[in-house]
Structure 1
Amino acid sequence: MVETNNRRLPVGIQSFEKIRKEGYLYVDKTDIIWQLANTDKTYNYLSRPRRFGKSVLVDTLESYFLGKKELFEGLKIMEMEKEWVKRPVIRLDMSRAGAEPNTLRSYLNNIFREYEKEYSLVPNSTDSLADRFNAIIVGSYEQTGQQVAILIDEYDSPLQHSWKTPHHEGCTGIYREVFAILKANDKYEKFVFITGITKFTQISLFSVLNNLSNISFEPEYAAICGITKEEVLRDFKPEINKLAEYEGWTFDEAVAQLTAYYDGYHFSRRNMVDVFNPFSLINALADSDLKNYWASSGATSLLPKFVDDMEIKMKNFENCPIDSDTLETSDVTGGGAELFLYQSGYLTIKSYTEGIYMLGIP
């Protein structure tokens, strides 16, 4: 029998600290993460499908900016980072903010209250959310003497879920008010990182942060989320052997099956490295079984909002052309079904020729 009992796979775990302290397997992306954290660009946006490791990435960045050097021992970043400066970190998880203006305000109110307590800030009763956000950024900088890292995870969740409802305009109004502060406070900010699935260009962060750099298609970040074939073969040999033994396959046959089920995502035309869906791959190797983990983990309820005819068969989108401007810069509300299907992970880049992407099923 193949021995894998002493190896722990991080099924459903989004905490970098828990992964490292409790001995879960970690696919080392810290060289790419260091590169991102030390870019010349202050404001960065990354779009990836759901359950693709965005929250683990944000959590890893938080640990890095908090100077938790001990969590990174033995990882690639140790050869790159020499100073380990501890900075104030403001982190917002917008997937917890609901889909109505009152739940969005309530979430921001509660999270801002936590940071006000941390930095002994006392807001006036008349202060708006924007005033309080501003005071937290400035106050944390003044108290620590260090520029702030601001991490906003799943920024688009309230906008997605309120789209085509009476609550949408109220939510976007709050976004415009609160997040305009980011641009005004650039001298206090070391790094601003925003993740999401879909891109609402005119009605949220993208309208107030015109200097926001979209790194979603950049070649150096093509594999910052997800797991490459090289990483699969390097880090998961015992689990692949166990799957092969269960199914009566050779090692190479098991790799071929995993590849057929879960590989084939591409996120940059200039770096077409194959990326495995990490949620499905980790679950399959933990269970030693091939199933449709990603699709059955709560296929997005948003499909009907963006894809009019749910009877359309997915095969109709195989070899689907889309121009580069639409794919890379368009608002999801006006880009057509194929844009939403790409951003949400149902389609991926297959090829690129003279300004036209060809999309297809991963």
Structure 2
Amino acid sequence: MSNVNKKKLPVGIESFEKIRTQDFYYVDKTVMIRDLIQRWGEVNLFTRPRRFGKSLNMSMLKAFFEIGGNRALFDGLKISEEKEICEEYMGKFPVISISLKDVEGSDYDVARTLLCSVIGNEALRFYELLKSSPKLNEVERRQYEQLVCTDHEQRGSFAMSDSVLMGSLKTLSSLLEKHYEKKVILLIDEYDVPLSKANEQGYYNEMVFLMRNLLQQVLKTNSSLYFAVLTGCLRVAKESIFTGLNNFKIYSITDVRFDEYFGFTDSEVKEMLAYYGQEAKVQTVREWYDGYHFGTLDVYCPWDVISYCDD
């Protein structure tokens, strides 16, 4: 069957907004929002293999919760049936959303510069709001300037001192809470990449010290935080960077909670193959790609299934 007039396949696309506005096929994982709210955890860590939809889910969470978001993105999706949740939570929170997937320097200084860039650029997203917010005092405006200040001698890289960098996410969340008068949701995708790369390149101890201080300040002693979601491929030992976090929930591949939200379930694969006229290939796809077990579910790697349909 021809795929003409069918939705496009989202090969490698991690933007929820792009998928929903540019007519790509979307496997609906939005009920994760309801479960995240109902199974409340102040800090939630999801560990899954690469290419299992972690970044797309984080993009979806940002689109749902962030003030000023496009509510129409969720029209017709399962979460739209949860009227009370949508009324109370959709578009109601300031959201800090960063990905650390590119913080992978060959040495500590390079990695630190890349981390400053990620956080500095996220702080710049709020420049028009915070640079002259009447709700911030002069000291707080100077704190914000420290987050977005650049060093012209270093080709415009962000010029955060160690103390500013380690407190940057906490500072930004505090400023956003004061401006919006709403607590902040924090999303950190691929949190483990800086540590994994540091371990490979020989500067692990320095990076652990930096990440421990950065995350402890924003996650442990932060009255501006509503809740946080972190994703990664690895569960870094809690003792290394999450010391003292008692508000911490870890959802690994063995956990039955949220097991259906990362990767495609058997029914989702059948539905997708049927949509693209490949119903006869269900058993072939199952034999080739059904090699993962999360919680109580057998799941497929989305990348593999989408690529198969795209061939």
Query: TM-score, length-normalised on structure 2?
Result: 0.81
> 2:273 pairs with 214, 236, 248, which one?
236
Counterpart in 1 of 2:115? 108
RMSD of aligned alpha carbons: 2.0
Alignment of 1:254-333 (within 5 A): 254-268=281-295, 272-287=296-311
For 2:185 and 2:38, the matched residues in 1 are separated by 11
For 1:38 and 1:103, the matched residues in 2 are separated by 40
Counterpart in 2 of 1:63? 63
Deviations 1:2-27 (A, max 9, x none): 13122211011010000000010000
For 1:204 and 1:86, the matched residues in 2 are separated by 34
Counterpart in 2 of 1:49? 49
Partner letter of residue 101 of structure 1? Y
**C-alpha contact 1:116 1:122 (8 A) present in aligned 2:** no
For 1:176 and 1:214, the matched residues in 2 are separated by 17
Counterpart in 1 of 2:152? none
**C-alpha contact 1:101 1:174 (8 A) present in aligned 2:** no
Deviations 1:198-244 (A, max 9, x none): 12214644325343101223323111111111112223313252xxx
**C-alpha contact 1:52 1:225 (8 A) present in aligned 2:** yes
Alignment of 1:1-362 (within 5 A): 2-7=1-6, 8-66=8-66, 67-80=69-82, 81-83=86-88, 84-99=90-105, 100-117=107-124, 118=126, 119-120=130-131, 121-123=144-146, 127-202=163-238, 204-216=240-252, 217-241=254-278, 251-252=279-280, 254-268=281-295, 272-287=296-311
Deviations 1:330-353 (A, max 9, x none): xxxxxxxxxxxxxxxxxxxxxxxx
For 2:80 and 2:223, the matched residues in 1 are separated by 28
Summarize the Cα distance change of 1:74–1:262 in structure 2 as closer, same or farther, 3 Å threshold.
same
Counterpart in 1 of 2:154? none
**C-alpha contact 2:29 2:261 (8 A) present in aligned 1:** yes
Identity %: 30
Summarize the Cα distance change of 1:64–1:92 in structure 2 as closer, same or farther, 3 Å threshold.
same
Query: TM-score, length-normalised on structure 1?
Result: 0.70
How many residues align? The count is 273
Secondary structure of the structure 2 residue equivalent to 1:82: helix
Deviations 1:45-89 (A, max 9, x none): 001001111110111111111143111110000111223233111
Secondary structure of the structure 2 residue equivalent to 1:187: coil
For 1:122 and 1:144, the matched residues in 2 are separated by 18
Summarize the Cα distance change of 1:109–1:38 in structure 2 as closer, same or farther, 3 Å threshold.
farther
For 1:286 and 1:85, the matched residues in 2 are separated by 34
Secondary structure of the structure 2 residue equivalent to 1:261: helix
TM-aligned CA deviation for residue 283 of structure 1 = 0.2
TM-aligned CA deviation for residue 176 of structure 1 = 1.2
**C-alpha contact 2:98 2:189 (8 A) present in aligned 1:** yes
Partner letter of residue 49 of structure 2? P
Choose between structure 1 and 2 for higher RCO, CA contacts under 8 A separated by at least 6 residues: 2
**C-alpha contact 1:94 1:153 (8 A) present in aligned 2:** yes
TM-aligned CA deviation for residue 37 of structure 1 = 4.3
Deviations 1:88-133 (A, max 9, x none): 1112211111143223321232233334442322228765212332
Secondary structure of the structure 2 residue equivalent to 1:46: strand
Partner letter of residue 71 of structure 2? K
For 1:240 and 1:196, the matched residues in 2 are separated by 34
The answer for unaligned runs of 5 or more in structure 2 is 132-143, 148-159
